[in-house]
């Protein structure tokens, strides 16, 4: 694998990005009934790509992962950060996160992520702090709600 380039995806990439998110979620060996319940959250549409800020990692013509940033009143959210299982642990997720924040989140902004429990330690290493939890599916399963405040840079 060559060092991936990070580029914004085109709306025609929607199906490929959905495949990546589904494969990455399945990597954690969740029961298939849970995966099926989560399909709407894992689906990436062409409209979603047009309406939000995304970067995808590409090497040798293959998309390896992607990150999506959504803007809300008063904060930004990392809504998706997925890497194909064969490339997890190779620094692609860390790079996608860092470069997405640099490209799409202004200095001084708050960033939220509602993380998969398996990803909480990853986000903590990237400076996010767990401040709350959100009940998910199935009932009794909770997701960490993590925040990071970007510093304001003096010019």
Residue 153: what pLDDT?
79
Residue 154: what pLDDT?
67
* Burial (CB count <10 Å: 0-12, 13-18, 19+), residue 22: middle
Domains located in the chain, CATH noted: 5-149 (3.40.630.30)
Neighbours of 103 (CB within 10 A): 13
| Contact between residue 126 and residue 94 where contact means Cβ atoms under 8 Å apart | yes
Tell me the pTM.
0.94
Residue 75: what pLDDT?
97
Intervals of the chain under pLDDT 50: none
Residue 18: what pLDDT?
98
Tokens of 139: 């009932």
Residue 155: what pLDDT?
59
pLDDT single digits (tens) 68-90: 999 999 999 999 999 999 999 99
Total residues belonging to the chain: 155
- In the beta sheet, which residues pair with residue 76? 71, 111
| Contact between residue 79 and residue 72 where contact means Cβ atoms under 8 Å apart | no
């Amino acid at each position: 694998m060559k060092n991936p380039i990070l580029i914004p995806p085109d709306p025609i990439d929607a199906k490929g990005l959905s495949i990546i998110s589904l494969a990455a979620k399945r990597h954690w060996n969740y029961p298939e009934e849970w995966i099926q319940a989560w399909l709407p959250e894992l689906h990436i549409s062409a409209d979603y790509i047009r309406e939000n800020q995304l970067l995808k990692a590409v090497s040798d013509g293959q998309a390896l992962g992607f990150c999506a940033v959504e803007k809300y009143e008063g904060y930004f959210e990392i809504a998706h950060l997925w890497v194909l299982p064969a490339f997890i642990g190779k620094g692609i997720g860390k790079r996608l996160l860092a470069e997405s924040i640099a490209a799409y989140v202004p200095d001084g902004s708050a960033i939220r992520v509602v993380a998969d429990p398996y990803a909480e330690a990853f986000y903590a290493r990237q400076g996010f702090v767990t401040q709350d939890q959100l009940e998910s599916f199935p009932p009794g399963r909770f997701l960490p709600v993590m925040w990071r405040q970007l510093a304001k840079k003096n010019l």
